[in-house]
């Protein structure tokens, strides 16, 4: 009794992980960097991770 092992074919499915975008939400954009750069939303302020601009809420 010899079991044949499947050899050769190995399909390694790449793991897909969705990256969390953190505090960044689609909403306010940085007035300095332009519309493409969104401001990160914090408790009391919105800040830009690119240029450091922030504004109080
Ligand atoms: Zn900016």
- Contact (Cβ atoms closer than 8 angstroms) between residue 40 and residue 48: yes
Type and span of the H or E element at 27: strand 24-29
**pTM tops 0.75, yes or no:** no
Total structural domains in the chain? 1
Ligand 1 center from residue 3 Cα (angstroms) = 63
Ligand 1 center from residue 49 Cα (angstroms) = 7
Domain that holds residue 52: 24-56
Ligand 1 center from residue 54 Cα (angstroms) = 8
What is the model's pLDDT at position 7?
A: 66
CA 15 to chain centre: 16
Q: Is residue 12 part of a domain?
A: no
What is the model's pLDDT at position 26?
A: 57
Ligand 1 center from residue 18 Cα (angstroms) = 25
**Greater pLDDT, 13 or 28:** 28
Q: Is residue 51 part of a domain?
A: yes
Q: Is residue 3 part of a domain?
A: no
**Greater pLDDT, 24 or 2:** 2
For the beta sheet containing 54-56, the strands, ordered from the edge strand earlier in sequence to the opposite edge, are 24-29, 38-41, 45-47, 54-56
Candidates 19, 21, 47; CA nearest to 32 is 47
> How many of the other CB atoms lie within 10 Å of CB of 16?
5
Residue pLDDT, tens place only, 23-57: 555 578 999 999 888 888 889 999 999 999 999 98
């Amino acid at each position: 009794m010899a079991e044949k092992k499947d050899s050769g074919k190995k399909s390694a499915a790449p793991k897909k992980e969705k990256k969390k975008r953190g505090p960044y939400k689609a909403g306010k954009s940085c007035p300095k960097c332009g519309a493409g750069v969104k401001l990160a939303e914090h408790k009391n302020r919105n800040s830009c991770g690119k240029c450091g601009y922030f504004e109080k809420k």
